[in-house]
């Protein structure tokens, strides 16, 4: 039922409003309850009449307050919701059609779009109309008419809907719309706000099928139409639809999502802008994608496949990398990283992979097939960079730019006249011209070229004494360059200087002209999807049915279901990407024909009001409660006490969650026997029952009157109120938690007595058997040294004189902390370990008979031991001096036998 902009889901509840006047009079007639006080001189009060007593009615404003609360509650139970569109929905019949633009252009505001669709479904549900959802993105399957579902099914379908990484295609959508029959009661088009070729025709067609409401986002999506690494960083172009958001930022990220850098952009004039992120080239080279900050869509993401725009340089690795960080390869690899992609391998393999340059560190003869491959590649325009070294000095082998003299020249050192040499300034015809050689770069050893051969070659750099140090010579269309020193720092400091990087960079610049000697050979391999973008611009593993894309189709591929955007690779190892937004992506405003209603995505959502109303009603009732208390005089009259009361109340609430801490009794108010919760319910029950029986005997026989037996959790409870803790071994003892261990250690240090009952006296234990319960229970505890207690121990005479300590077992052993260890506590043991299963022996029934299956005598002796134990815990070594009685009597000249 609708009422203005309100919709009531349970309108019958509103009938209760009719009862409000009756309620009003009922409330009016009921006086507030009085405050009740006891008053001894009541006799004197009797018979006093005051005129106010007649006024027994509740005050009017209080009644109004209560009636208001009742009205609020009734409205709340009618389950109202604010649904401005509900009225419009009421008219018409037939299904509701929801047209959903689900391309990446909708991804930035997808939750809003979904909520809008949800709201449309809810409206349809209230009107009892079925729902059809028409998605506008193209699909690989042949077009089918949208299904007409019940609202609940439509909602489930909607919840599974995610934006696609391509644009909507309204022409295709129109085809699908035409497959659907009949008129629609209402059409809600949740658009992305971006137009395309078929948008207008689609809108016209929608208009013919029913009343159309187009809901557009407040800000349309933007696209990154290009992105590449340049010499000074990363450059990207951003395009927006006319009237789209005017400023923003782009960020470059690694494949793992680590941010490398960001730059702001602002559209000035046009709708395309170039943004630049300034980054050092070696960092820029690590960028794997660029995205528009804060816009999660496939179109706002630009993928940069690894190595794109960088020379692929092959490092010929002859397989002697036992110490990878010390090898010459490592120096070269690090030096070229900022500007080239290095790949290691054999020469032939590298050439097949399309290496534009090869670097060959110190090497002796190459194998014949390798050599042949290199020669052929050089003829086609390859660049070979070689380094010298001991092996080359011994056995120089082609291809080389110059002929080398056998052996090497050593500069400096014990047996040489010459000093290590620096570099000459680079000549004007050298590619290194303009670089400055640092004075501390010294060459200690080099290979020398035959001077005659230098005429055919080019000398790019010389030492201070004129010896050539970098030479180059063409081979076919290619080039061979030789550094006359090692690639590492063995022969010179070159590899340690920044000059090395610059020199290699300029050397590898020649790789550009040597492009693709071998590349065309394997161009037929198709591209396979490695990771694909989803509509939000996140990379995911491709579906199993992802199709390979032929290389010929790949370069022209735009994002579509057949060619989904993402990272691709092909057999040769070449990585490439299809991006969601093409460089010529057009983003235009969505043009709609007249007669179509438009609304924003964020406007007019249905809001349920019932909860709020009921909550407000409760609040009013709570106020009423305080008012009633105040009227009855039950509230403290002094305002100064109110904050204190409120604070106490808040404090009480804050303490409330830890109900464990709120014991009804304060354990320190009485003396309690206590046992440790072991988690084994049976053991805990036995321990409690045993201690209860022992406490009963203590009450009967001694001045000790223990309160109820307490179970404690050493990990949480304060143990200090308990003079003795009984720890009854569970069936399977476990190690205590660290908190419990710390607490028990503290307990023993503070003078508590921990009595561990391992209950295993009857069990035989051979060598090699599992460790006893004591070993497990004591794990982690700061246990003092123990000794077996002797006939003179205070336990034998604290209350009863005992010779043995039978529990459920006759022969028991008890270990106590040694007197020496307990010296700081006057010799009173803090830890006792016994094995007699005493708790079982202590348990007695109501008439005091033993329940543990033992004889009366044994029960009695066990109880006597228990009493002695508690006495020791309470009185310490008070009775220990009785040990000396015989000696004292002897000293007094009397025979101990005669002592009475």
Partner 1 sequence: MTPRAEAESLAGFLPGVLLEARRLSAAAPGVHGRRRAGPGEAFWQFRDHRPEDGARLVDWRRSARGERLYVREREKEAAQSALFWIDPAPGFHWKSDGPWPTKARRALALSLAAGILFSRGGERIGALGMPPRAGARAVERLALDLSLHSAAHPPAPPARSAVIFASDFYAPPEEWRERLRAAAGVAATGVLLMIADPAEEDFPYRGRTQFEEPGGGAMKTLFGRAEAAQAEYAGRLAAHRAAIRTTAQAAGFVPILHRTDRSAGPALSLLMAALEERR
CB pairs under 8 A, 24+ apart, for 682-685? 682/731, 683/728, 683/729, 683/730, 683/731, 684/711, 684/728, 684/730
Site stretch for partner 1 (CB under 8 A), options 37-45, 673-681, 762-770, 863-871: 37-45
User: Which residue, 44 or 415, has its beta carbon nearer to partner 1?
Assistant: 44
- Estimate the crossing angle of helix 170-179 against helix 199-209, to 10 degrees: 20
Binding residues for partner 1, total number by CB under 8 A: 29
User: Which residue, 670 or 738, has its beta carbon nearer to partner 1?
Assistant: 670
User: Which residue, 708 or 896, has its beta carbon nearer to partner 1?
Assistant: 708
Q: How far is the CB of 859 from partner 1 (least distance, A)?
A: 24
766 binds partner 1 (CB under 8 A): no
599 binds partner 1 (CB under 8 A): no
Q: Which of residues 18, 22, 48, 594 is near partner 1 by CB under 8 A?
A: 48
Q: How far is the CB of 49 from partner 1 (least distance, A)?
A: 9
Read off the tokens for 264.
């702001």
Q: Are 812 and 841 within 8 A, CB to CB?
A: no
Q: Which of residues 4, 18, 22, 55 is near partner 1 by CB under 8 A?
A: 55
Site stretch for partner 1 (CB under 8 A), options 29-37, 282-290, 433-441, 564-572: 29-37
User: Which residue, 662 or 700, has its beta carbon nearer to partner 1?
Assistant: 700
Site stretch for partner 1 (CB under 8 A), options 1-9, 53-61, 617-625, 653-661: 53-61
22 binds partner 1 (CB under 8 A): no
Beta strands 6-8; 80-82: pairing state: antiparallel
Q: How far is the CB of 696 from partner 1 (least distance, A)?
A: 12
Rounded CA separation 191/195 (Å): 9
Q: Are 648 and 117 within 8 A, CB to CB?
A: no
669 binds partner 1 (CB under 8 A): no
Give the DSSP letter string of 444-479. Answer: -EEEEE-GGGGGTSEEEEEBTTS-EEEEEEEETTEE
Rounded CA separation 707/127 (Å): 70
Site stretch for partner 1 (CB under 8 A), options 52-60, 141-149, 369-377, 459-467: 52-60
Q: Are 648 and 641 within 8 A, CB to CB?
A: no
What are the backbone angles phi and psi of residue 777, rounded to the nearest 5°?
-70, -30
699 binds partner 1 (CB under 8 A): yes
Read off the tokens for 235.
């450059």
36 binds partner 1 (CB under 8 A): yes
Q: Which of residues 40, 182, 324, 657 is near partner 1 by CB under 8 A?
A: 40
Rounded CA separation 395/367 (Å): 14
Site stretch for partner 1 (CB under 8 A), options 51-59, 78-86, 92-100, 338-346: 51-59
Gap between the terminal Cα atoms of the chain: 102
- Taken in order 266, 270, 276, 277, the sign of the CA dihedral is positive
Q: How far is the CB of 750 from partner 1 (least distance, A)?
A: 28
414 binds partner 1 (CB under 8 A): no
Q: How far is the CB of 50 from partner 1 (least distance, A)?
A: 4
707 binds partner 1 (CB under 8 A): no
35 binds partner 1 (CB under 8 A): yes
Angular region, 301: left φ>0, alpha ψ -120 to 50, beta rest: beta
Site stretch for partner 1 (CB under 8 A), options 44-52, 177-185, 740-748, 795-803: 44-52
664 binds partner 1 (CB under 8 A): no
Site stretch for partner 1 (CB under 8 A), options 19-27, 337-345, 466-474, 625-633: 625-633
Site stretch for partner 1 (CB under 8 A), options 33-41, 64-72, 306-314, 428-436: 33-41
Rounded CA separation 78/609 (Å): 10
Q: Which of residues 31, 407, 583, 708 is near partner 1 by CB under 8 A?
A: 31
The count of other CB atoms within 10 Å of the CB of residue 210 is 17
Rounded CA separation 266/264 (Å): 7
Strand partners, 292: 250
Rounded CA separation 475/379 (Å): 6
The residue ranges that bind partner 1 (CB under 8 A) are 31-46, 48, 50-56, 631-633, 699, 705
């Amino acid at each position: 039922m609708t009422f203005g902009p309100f919709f009531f889901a349970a309108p019958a509840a509103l009938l209760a409003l009719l009862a409000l006047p009756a309620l009003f009079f009922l409330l009016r007639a009921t006086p507030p309850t009085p405050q009740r006080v006891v008053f001894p001189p009541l006799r004197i009060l009797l018979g006093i009449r005051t005129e106010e007593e007649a006024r027994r009615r509740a005050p009017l404003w209080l009644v109004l307050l209560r009636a208001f609360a009742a009205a609020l509650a009734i409205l709340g139970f009618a389950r109202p919701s604010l649904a401005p569109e509900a009225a419009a929905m009421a008219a018409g019949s037939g299904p509701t059609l929801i047209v959903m633009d689900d391309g990446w252009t909708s991804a930035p505001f997808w939750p809003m779009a979904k909520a809008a669709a949800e709201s449309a479904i809810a409206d349809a549900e209230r009107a009892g109309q079925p729902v059809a959802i028409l998605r506008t993105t193209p699909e690989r399957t042949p077009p089918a008419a949208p299904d007409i579902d019940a609202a609940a099914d439509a909602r489930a379908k909607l919840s599974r809907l995610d934006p696609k990484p391509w644009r909507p295609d309204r022409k295709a959508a129109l085809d699908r719309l035409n497959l659907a029959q009949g008129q629609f009661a209402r059409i809600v088009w949740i658009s992305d706000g971006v137009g395309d070729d078929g948008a207008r025709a689609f809108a016209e067609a929608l208009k013919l099928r029913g009343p159309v409401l187009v809901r557009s986002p407040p800000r349309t999506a933007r696209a990154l139409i290009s992105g590449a690494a340049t010499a000074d960083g990363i450059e990207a172009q951003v395009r927006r639809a006319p009237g789209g958001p005017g400023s923003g930022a782009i960020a470059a990220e690694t494949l793992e999502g680590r941010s490398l850098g960001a730059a702001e952009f602002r559209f000035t004039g046009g709708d395309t802008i170039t943004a630049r992120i300034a980054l050092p080239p070696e960092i820029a080279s690590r960028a794997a994608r660029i995205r528009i900050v804060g816009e999660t869509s496939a179109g706002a993401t630009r993928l940069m496949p690894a190595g794109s725009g960088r020379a692929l340089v092959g490092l010929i690795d002859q397989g002697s990398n036992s110490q990878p960080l010390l090898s010459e390869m490592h120096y070269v690899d690090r030096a070229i990283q900022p500007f080239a992609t290095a790949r290691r391998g054999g020469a032939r393999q590298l050439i097949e992979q399309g290496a534009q340059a090869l670097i060959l560190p110190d090497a002796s003869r190459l194998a014949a097939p390798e050599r042949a491959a290199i020669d052929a590649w050089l003829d086609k325009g390859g660049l070979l960079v070689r380094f010298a070294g001991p092996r080359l000095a011994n056995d120089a082998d082609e291809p080389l730019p110059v002929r080398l003299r056998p052996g090497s020249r050593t500069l400096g050192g014990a047996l040489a006249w010459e000093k290590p040499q620096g570099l000459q300034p680079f000549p004007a015809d050298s590619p290194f011209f303009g670089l400055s050689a640092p004075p501390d770069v010294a060459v200690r050893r080099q290979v020398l070229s035959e001077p005659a051969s230098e005429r055919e070659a080019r000398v790019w750099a010389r030492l201070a004494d004129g010896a050539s140090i970098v030479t180059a010579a063409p081979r076919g269309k290619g080039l061979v360059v030789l550094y006359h020193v090692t690639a590492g720092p063995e022969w010179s400091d070159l590899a340690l200087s920044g000059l090395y990087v610059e020199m290699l960079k300029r050397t590898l610049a020649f790789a550009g002209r040597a492009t693709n000697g071998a590349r065309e050979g394997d161009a037929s391999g198709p591209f396979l999807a490695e990771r694909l973008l989803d509509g939000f611009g996140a990379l995911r593993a491709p579906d199993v049915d992802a199709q390979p894309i032929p290389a010929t189709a790949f370069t022209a591929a735009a994002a579509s279901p057949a060619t989904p955007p993402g990272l691709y690779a092909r057999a040769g190892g070449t990585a490439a990407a299809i991006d969601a937004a093409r460089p010529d992506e057009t983003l235009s405003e969505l043009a709609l024909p007249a007669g179509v209603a438009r609304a924003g995505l964020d406007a007019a959502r249905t809001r349920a009001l019932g909860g709020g109303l009921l909550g407000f009603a409760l609040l009013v009732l709570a106020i009423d409660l305080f008012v009633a208390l105040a009227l009855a005089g039950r509230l403290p009259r002094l305002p100064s006490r109110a904050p204190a009361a409120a604070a106490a109340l808040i404090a009480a609430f804050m303490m409330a969650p830890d109900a464990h801490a709120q014991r009804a009794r304060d354990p320190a108010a009485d003396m309690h026997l206590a046992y440790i919760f072991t988690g084994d319910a049976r053991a805990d029950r036995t321990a409690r029952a045993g201690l209860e029986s022992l406490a009963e005997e203590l009450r009967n026989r001694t001045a000790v009157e223990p309160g109820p037996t307490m179970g404690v959790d050493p990990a949480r409870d304060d143990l200090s109120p308990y003079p003795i803790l009984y720890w009854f071994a569970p069936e399977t003892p476990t190690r205590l938690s660290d908190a419990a261990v710390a607490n028990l250690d503290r307990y023993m240090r503070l003078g508590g007595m921990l009595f561990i009952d391992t209950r295993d006296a009857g069990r035989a234990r051979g060598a090699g058997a599992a460790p006893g319960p004591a070993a497990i229970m004591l794990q982690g505890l700061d246990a003092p040294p123990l000794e077996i207690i002797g006939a003179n121990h205070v336990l034998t005479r604290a209350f009863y004189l005992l010779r043995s300590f039978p529990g459920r077992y006759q022969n028991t052993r008890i270990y106590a902390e040694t007197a020496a260890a307990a010296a700081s506590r006057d010799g009173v043991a803090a830890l006792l370990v016994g094995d007699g299963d005493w708790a079982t022996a202590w348990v007695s029934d109501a008439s005091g008979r033993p329940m543990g299956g033992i004889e009366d005598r044994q029960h009695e002796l066990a109880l006597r031991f228990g009493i002695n134990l508690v006495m020791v815990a309470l009185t310490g070594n008070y009775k220990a001096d009785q040990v000396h009685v015989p000696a004292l009597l002897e000293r007094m000249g009397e025979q101990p036998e005669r002592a009475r």
